[in-house]
């Protein structure tokens, strides 16, 4: 079935270091969404990528969607302690009856 693989599962960084998480699908996605879940919280929408090769930036966060629309990445420049949480990608395979397939998430910890 449809599956979205996300790596790494955990990432520990020193404050100020960069961080990247990657998502990969075996089949073409209609769009991909990214969410952040703080410890004890619920997923909060960050961004949606729709177009092949799309790149979007939100301050220190850069999101990319692959040319084949099968992979995506989230890069955080110069991490801060406020970046702590689990980052999920969620793939949509299209159609009005589609649903999001979530990756397992990358749990980011930042050491001050």
Partner 1 sequence: KAGVTQTPRYLIKTRGQQVTLSCSPISGHRSVSWYQQTPGQGLQFLFEYFSETQRNKGNFPGRFSGRQFSNSRSEMNVSTLELGDSALYLCASNKLAGAADTQYFGPGTRLTVL
- Give contact residues for partner 1 (rule: CB under 8 A): 1, 30-31, 33, 35, 41-45, 48, 88, 90, 92, 95-105
Query: Residue 102: which H helix or E strand, with range?
Result: strand 100-102
Q: Which is nearer to partner 1, 46 or 77 (CB)?
A: 46
Q: Which is nearer to partner 1, 7 or 100 (CB)?
A: 100
CB of 62 to partner 1, least distance (A): 19
CB of 64 to partner 1, least distance (A): 19
Q: Which is nearer to partner 1, 95 or 112 (CB)?
A: 95
The verdict on whether omega for the bond into residue 8 sits within 30 degrees of 0, i.e. cis, is yes
Q: What angle do CA 106, 47, 13 make, to 5 degrees?
A: 30
Can you tell me which residue has the tokens 């769009």? 31
- Measured in degrees and rounded to the nearest 5, phi and psi for residue 83 equal -80, -5
CB of 31 to partner 1, least distance (A): 7
């Amino acid at each position: 079935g449809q599956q979205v693989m996300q790596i790494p599962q955990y990432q520990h960084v020193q404050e100020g270091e960069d961080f990247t998480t990657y998502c990969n699908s075996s089949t073409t996605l209609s769009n991909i969404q990214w969410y952040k879940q703080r410890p004890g919280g619920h997923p909060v929408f960050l961004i949606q990528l729709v177009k092949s090769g799309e790149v979007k930036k939100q301050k220190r966060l850069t999101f990319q969607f692959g040319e084949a629309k099968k992979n995506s990445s989230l890069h955080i420049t110069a991490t801060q302690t406020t970046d702590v949480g689990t980052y999920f990608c969620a793939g949509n395979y299209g159609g009005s009856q589609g649903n999001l397939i979530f990756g397992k998430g990358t749990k980011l910890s930042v050491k001050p």
